[in-house]
Amino acid sequence: MNVTTDVSLVSLVTNASVLVQIVMGLLLVVSLMSWSYIFMKMLTLRRARSQTTLFEESFWGGSDLNTLYQRTASNSADTGSLERIFEAGFREFQRHRTGGMMDATATTSGVQRAMKATYQREMDALESHLSFLATVGSVSPYVGLFGTVWGIMNAFRGLANVGQATLAHVAPGIAEALVATAMGLFAAIPAVVAYNRYAHEIDRLAIRFESFMEEFSNILQRQIKPHNGR
């Protein structure tokens, strides 16, 4: 007699109990979402990095601040975070200049506040969905474990009705329950890796933004003085 135990993945999933199947479906959806966010963040962060580098190059390349401002304001759809920060700061500066109130401290602090507000908005946008990745990374193993525990409980409860218990009675139940844990881990591991990596990248971008803000406010402050003395 040949004992053929066909334990294909599909049969494991389809034979699982309803709750385990719900858990597995939930984990599948969560995993899909987290992967889509991973790719989304990957693409946007890469773009933000390249845009920042590009703007820094053009800013420190000695081009005129006014033309730079005109350029960024005209094609606002294709601007990066750093350009928007620059735009906000320079707009505030120009408002002060056209308003004729060129008090150095007031202008500088106003520019800094404007840039700070834009910076925070940009950071918030950059960090969007990162918390989702963090949540998936920390919670989905538990969700999968819950499905597994439930499945194993069912397997053992079924075992109670069998007179002579062998491993063959429990093994399929445990296997299909463990699929839930596997799915939880499958969702969690990339999420955790991506979260750590993206958080680090955003931190580096934030440092670049902040240093740019400091330097840009210095530049603007230097522009105020000769104006004042005139």
- Report the site for other proteins in 75-94 (rule: CB under 8 A): 77, 81
Q: Minimal CA–CA distance to 186: which of 133, 224, 141?
A: 141
Tell me if 162 contacts other proteins by CB under 8 A. Answer: no
Tell me if 43 contacts other proteins by CB under 8 A. Answer: yes
Q: Minimal CA–CA distance to 122: which of 164, 162, 75, 79?
A: 79
Residue type at position 3: V
What is the nearest approach in angstroms of other proteins to the Cβ of residue 30?
11
Query: In Å, what is the CA distance from 80 to each residue of 27, 28, 56?
Result: 35, 34, 11
Q: Which of 23, 30, 48, 68 binds other proteins (CB under 8 A)?
A: 48
The answer to whether 127 touches 185, Cβ cutoff 8 Å, is no
What is the nearest approach in angstroms of other proteins to the Cβ of residue 71?
17
Tell me if 121 contacts other proteins by CB under 8 A. Answer: yes
100/140 Cα distance (integer angstroms): 58
What is the nearest approach in angstroms of other proteins to the Cβ of residue 195?
16
Tell me if 112 contacts other proteins by CB under 8 A. Answer: no
The one segment of 17-25, 27-35, 198-206, 217-225 that binds other proteins by CB under 8 A: 27-35
Tell me if 167 contacts other proteins by CB under 8 A. Answer: no
φ/ψ of 40, rounded to 5, equals -60, -50
Tell me if 203 contacts other proteins by CB under 8 A. Answer: no
Query: In Å, what is the CA distance from 203 to each residue of 50, 124, 145, 161, 211?
Result: 15, 12, 33, 58, 12
Chain residues that interact with other proteins, rule: CB under 8 A: 1-10, 28, 31-33, 35-40, 43-44, 47-48, 77, 81, 121-122, 124-126, 128-129, 186
